[in-house]
Amino acid sequence: MPIATTNPATGQVLKTYEAMSDEQIDAAIERADLAFRQLRDTTIAQRARWLTAAADLLDAERDETARLMTTEMGKTYAAAKAEVTKCATACRFYAGNAPRMLADEPADAAAVKAKRAYVRYQPIGPVLAVMPWNFPLWQVMRFAAPALMAGNTGLLKHASNVPQTALYLEDLFRRAGFPEGAFTTLLVGSDAVDRILSDPRVRAATLTGSEPAGRSIAQIAGREIKKTVLELGGSDPFVVMPSADLDAAAEVATTARCQNNGQSCIAAKRFIVHTDVFDAFAEKFAARMAALRVGDPMDDGTDVGPLASERGRDEVHAQVADAVDQGATVLCGGEKPAGDGWYYPPTVVTDLRPEMRMWAEEVFGPVAGLYRVGSYDEAIAVANGTSFGLGSNAWTNDPAEQERFAVDLDAGNVFINGMTTSYPELPFGGVKNSGYGRELSAAGMREFCNTKTVWIGEGETGAGAGAHSE
């Protein structure tokens, strides 16, 4: 893929970049390694001051940064502004909470026959972050804020269609005061990832992206014995049961499917509705989806902008066409518009069957699959019936059913009577082919820490030797 900014609203190529040479990549890794030696010796308080300065810059530069993101990947300007603000909030969250998250944890010294024993969280070194374009600032920030706070350094290989946002991030951390090399953007294609991750100075990798990219990075990391966190795709279920508030469910379903022009890993994608309320929900949902305004992402009145690439739009349309060819019913949308820009209308498709692509694949655009089920058990079977397990939603006002969904949905999160979203306070990640590891909260920060056992004894003969020595 060329490294270039192409405006999805017009299809115009605005800026192109040369990929960095092997020598430039090598020099950047060297700087990241040197910066790590410096950063790990700074205090948490110092790093918190730098991260807070980054938050202040994000707030001050919100509008220009949002415009840049909209130009590079087509999200609405309103959504882009909210994304910048969310990044600033995450920086402040980690600046404020790192002292607690990174504090030594004392152990029961007597139980481990020590004078003193504790667990220390130490940074590990340069971490490679391979990131997607759909939340071009937020996806990076939810790795970078905790990683830098912990004292690691970051090497960013961003998606090839958001190079200017990638360069902004490097500049942001430099201006906030972090040492040169603490956070570096590598303008490289995905073919450079093997070389970077194989370098002994690079200690770990995090990838947010598709399942094939996850497999590829996990293979390299496995060969090199390096830690990875994988945040991959999802096809989140959104279950509606008879006791649900149908108007609220239909309203939230519309936002949950079409946020970010339908290109979110945690967008609800499969709407699984109990037969008792299926027709009523389908009508309310399709009416709301059809009423969304599709258009220029810079306009205040736009709900849904273009998809990020022509290839992405073609793929979404091919998935819809495949279902229609095999007998599915389109309740709204489903036609690829003519004209400039990679727009696609909010679409609802029902009468889906397992042999259709939409049944098992992630649809990365504003297209909802609507499924009719006859019972709680059938709802769970359909909800859990894909290879993904990222987020999940259930709408029910029956307290016992709420508890059952919380247990039975096989996913990294369950949101009851609400929409899946990410918060710095809560862990984020998936199960099954949606990946492994967690971002955000203390769990996210500790993914790239060495959880080190420290045992201090009196130095007497036999101290520390238990029944087992391993």
Which of 99, 189, 337, 399 forms a contact with ligand NAP (CB under 6 A)?
A: 189
Site for ligand NAP contains 213 (CB under 6 A):
yes
Site for ligand NAP contains 255 (CB under 6 A):
no
For strand 3-7 and strand 12-17, is the pairing parallel, antiparallel, or unpaired? Answer: antiparallel
Site for ligand NAP contains 208 (CB under 6 A):
yes
Q: Closest by alpha carbon to 289, among 314, 324, 262?
A: 262
Site for ligand NAP contains 132 (CB under 6 A):
yes
Q: Closest by alpha carbon to 160, among 126, 128, 136?
A: 136
Q: What are phi and psi of 459, to 5 degrees?
A: 80, 20
Rounded Cα gap, residues 60 and 334, in angstroms: 40
Which of 209, 237, 305, 366 forms a contact with ligand NAP (CB under 6 A)?
A: 209
Rounded Cα gap, residues 208 and 236, in angstroms: 16
Site for ligand NAP contains 390 (CB under 6 A):
yes
Q: What are phi and psi of 425, to 5 degrees?
A: -75, -20
Site for ligand NAP contains 134 (CB under 6 A):
yes
Based on CB atoms, which residue is closest to ligand NAP, 133 or 395? 133
Site for ligand NAP contains 79 (CB under 6 A):
no
Which of 76, 152, 153, 160 forms a contact with ligand NAP (CB under 6 A)?
A: 160
How many of the chain's residues bind ligand NAP (CB under 6 A)?
Answer: 32
**Contact map string, positions 432 to 451, toward ligand NAP, x by CB under 6 A:** --xx----------------
Rounded Cα gap, residues 14 and 260, in angstroms: 22
Site for ligand NAP contains 388 (CB under 6 A):
no
- Site residues for ligand NAP, 414-433, by CB under 6 A, read 430
Site for ligand NAP contains 363 (CB under 6 A):
no
Based on CB atoms, which residue is closest to ligand NAP, 163 or 297? 163
| Nearest approach, Cβ of residue 154 and ligand NAP (Å) | 14
Helices (H) and strands (E) in the chain, counts: 15, 18
With CB atoms as reference, the residue minimizing the distance to ligand NAP is 209
Amino acid identity at 398: D
Which one-letter DSSP state was computed for residue 337?
P
Q: Which residues of 5-15 are buried (b: 16+ CB within 10 A; e: fewer)?
A: bbbbbeeeeee
Based on CB atoms, which residue is closest to ligand NAP, 350 or 413? 413
* Active-site option among 72, 83, 170, 231: 231
Site for ligand NAP contains 130 (CB under 6 A):
yes
| Nearest approach, Cβ of residue 461 and ligand NAP (Å) | 52
* Active-site option among 91, 258, 265, 449: 265
Q: Which range, of 81-89, 227-235, 402-410, 457-465, touches ligand NAP by CB under 6 A?
A: 227-235
Q: Which range, of 104-112, 228-236, 296-304, 448-456, touches ligand NAP by CB under 6 A?
A: 228-236
20-26, Cβ contacts within 8 angstroms, sequence gap of 24 or more: 20/186, 20/187, 20/188, 20/192, 22/195, 25/186, 25/188, 25/192, 25/195, 25/196, 26/199
| Nearest approach, Cβ of residue 235 and ligand NAP (Å) | 9
Copy the structure tokens of residue 460. Answer: 């007497």
- On whether the CB atoms of residues 261 and 69 are closer than 8 A, the answer is no
The dihedral sign for the CA sequence 4, 9, 12, 14: negative
Which of 72, 83, 199, 231 forms a contact with ligand NAP (CB under 6 A)?
A: 231
In Å, how far are 70, 116, 278 from 84, measured between CA atoms?
12, 44, 38
Rounded Cα gap, residues 373 and 273, in angstroms: 6
| Nearest approach, Cβ of residue 265 and ligand NAP (Å) | 3
Based on CB atoms, which residue is closest to ligand NAP, 126 or 132? 132
Q: Which range, of 77-85, 117-125, 213-221, 376-384, touches ligand NAP by CB under 6 A?
A: 213-221
Amino acid identity at 371: Y
| Nearest approach, Cβ of residue 362 and ligand NAP (Å) | 5
In Å, how far are 165, 248, 271, 431, 432 from 403, measured between CA atoms?
41, 20, 20, 20, 22
CA angle 139, 143, 148 (to 5 degrees): 140
Tell me whether residue 170 is one of the annotated catalytic residues: no
Q: Closest by alpha carbon to 238, among 379, 137, 343, 134?
A: 379
Please report where in the chains the tokens 């509606």 appear, as a residue. Answer: 240
Tell me whether residue 72 is one of the annotated catalytic residues: no
**Which residues sit at the interface with ligand NAP, rule CB under 6 A?**
1, 130-134, 139, 157-160, 189-190, 193, 208-210, 212-213, 216-217, 231-234, 265, 362, 364, 390, 430, 434-435
Which residues are tagged catalytic?
231, 265
